[in-house]
Every structure is written in C-alpha cells, then in structure tokens.
Amino acid sequence: MRKKHLLISMALMLSLLLTFNVSARPLSATAPTLGTAVSFVALGGSTVTNTGPSTINGDLGVWPALGVIGFPPGVVTAPYTIHAGDAVAQQAQSDVTTAYDVLAGAAVDVDLTGQDLGGLTLNPGVYSFSSSAQLTGMLTLDALGDPNAVFIFKIGSALTTASASSVAVINGGSGCNVFWQVGSSATLGTTTSFQGNILALTSITLNTGATIIPGRALARNGALTLDTNTINGSACIAQQVTSTPINSATATVAPPTDTPAPTNTSGPAPTNTSGPAPTNTPTEEEEEDTPASTATLLPVITALPRTGGAPIRSEGLPWGLVVVVAGFSTSLLVLGVRAYRTNYRRKH
C-alpha cells in the first residue's frame, strides 16, 4: 500500500511541477530606443496640419516636407519648439524608422487578430494583428506592479478607435512604455483618450477632441492631422532621456544638431505662442550627458494575458512539450497502479 501511494504521489507531483513550469513561462517585451526623436511627440512626413486650439507638450516636426500649418491657433508649449524640414527633424525621422523596425521585429507572444481591443485586459507582452486593429470602448493594460512593464502592439495595417474609446494603464505602469507599431495609418476617433507611442508607417489622424496622454504621434511618411487635440509626452521625454533601454538592434543615439528656426513653410510661419523659441532642443545637453544603452527596461512578467473575454491564442506556449509531459506523467501513474496490483496479487 505504501509503495502504491508513493509511486502515485511522485507521478502527480512531477506532472504538476513540469506542467506549471511550462504554462507559467512569462511573456517578454523590450522598449525600443527613440534616439534623437525622444523629445518629439508630434512628427509628420509629408505635412503637419492643425485645426483649432491643439496643445503639444513636446517638440513638433516634419521631414522631408516643410509644411507645418495651423500653429497658431495650435500651441507648442515652452521649452519645446517646431522643427519644419530641418536637420533635427530629419534625424528624428531616421531614429523613428530605427525604432519602428525594432518593434516590427519583436517576437510575438499573443496573436489578437480578429479581436476588438475594447473590453480586454492584457498583461505586459508583445501582441500582434496580422491586418487591422480596432478599439471600441476601453482597453486595460495591467502592469502587474512593475513600473517598467512594456506593452507592444504590432499591427499589420490600420489602427482605428471608435469615438470615446480609451486606453488605461493600471497597477503601476506607464503609458510611456506602450508602443503601437502601425503598418499603414492610425486614426483616433473623436474624444478618444489614448495612451502610448504611435509609430505609423504612413499617416496619423486625431479627430476632434482626441488626446494622447502620455505618448506620441510619430508618422514616418504621411501626414499628421490634428483637430483640437492634446498630445502630452513630457513625462515620456524625461523618462527616456534619463534611462535608455538596451536593444541590440538599436543605433547609438547621436545628439541633435543646432539649427536656426525654419522660415520656409507651406503655411503660416511656425511660432511658439507660449514664449520665445529656444535655440537648442530641450534635451540636447541631457542627451550628450547620457550614454546610450545604459539601462534595461525589461519588465518582470509573471503571468499570461487576461483578456476578460474570449480566450486568446499564445504563439509562444510550447504545447508539444505540454503533451509530452502529460504523457510521461500518465505513464508513471499507470506503472504505479500496475506495481500495486502485482504486489497485491502476490500477497493474496
């Protein structure tokens, strides 16, 4: 009887231990370096246009085009400024491209293709959509108590939010560590309350009243279109200037180049209505004093995503190993039972 209990207990304990270790494998995500683009919260490729009293808390730029239209009535708050077609904006676009490529190459933890982000609660990790992504309602991102927790969304084509949708980061996380790599264009619906850094291959449109706090809207090739919006990335600028994450695919950060304020624009001359434009970008000295790749923002992740709805597929979970472990444990259990029966028959 004792041998039976011992063999069965050993089989069950081994099965539970191995299965737990396999299924509890954490997800991982690493924030990319934005380089000299760290001070930019609004960036366009073909043009930047604004309607209404938009407020930009961070540098605003465009390259390779020259056109920044609608400032004023839009305002870039001091000490930040506008870079229209200058060398600073050019380098920022180059660094955005590097960061975009790093995000595109990140290993996927969970495929969310076909699911609406609205109503989901997700833990730190890398999520993907093979085509477009839709947000209707609230998306909750749970940092699990880790202030450095990183969320990456790889979207094959367009990102669209419905009116009054929102992104909430809870349990000690920061919207500055949320990254949206968009394969075409991103459109935020009216009064959407968004968080995170949007890096779009083509264009970004914020409809009336939409906000990104905290975060950035960085369009590589197309237009950045604003309409009475607020983009506040000041907290993200401070965070990434003082702590640059390590990523082997990221280029070394070079300090931005001093250039005079541009005068050649396709619309009204860009001005900073909150005060005189500074001669240097606000983070040049900090960037020069901060060595590249000096700290790691790797989140300590302890659980798989909780979606709050239909189950989602994890590409990274080794189901083959789970099957092998389960089969091995079952074999041990069968052997234990047989040994018990054999011993019982001999005694009787």
pLDDT of 105-163, one tens digit each?
999 999 999 999 999 999 999 999 999 999 999 999 999 999 999 999 999 999 999 99
Q: What is the rounded CA–CA span in Å between residue 269 and residue 233?
A: 24
Domain range annotation of the chain = 2-25+317-347, 35-289
Whole-model pTM: value is 0.66
pLDDT digits (tens, 9 = 90+) for 181-215: 999 999 999 999 999 999 999 999 999 999 999 99
pLDDT digits (tens, 9 = 90+) for 53-76: 999 999 999 999 999 999 999 999
- How are beta strands 186-188 and 151-155 bridged, if at all? unpaired
Is the Cβ–Cβ distance between 211 and 229 less than 8 Å? Answer: yes
In DSSP notation, 268-313 reads SPP--TTSPPPSS-TTHHHHHHS-SS---------S----SSS--E
What mean pLDDT, rounded, does the chain reach?
Answer: 77
- 10 φ, ψ to 5°? -65, -40
Position 136, amino acid: T
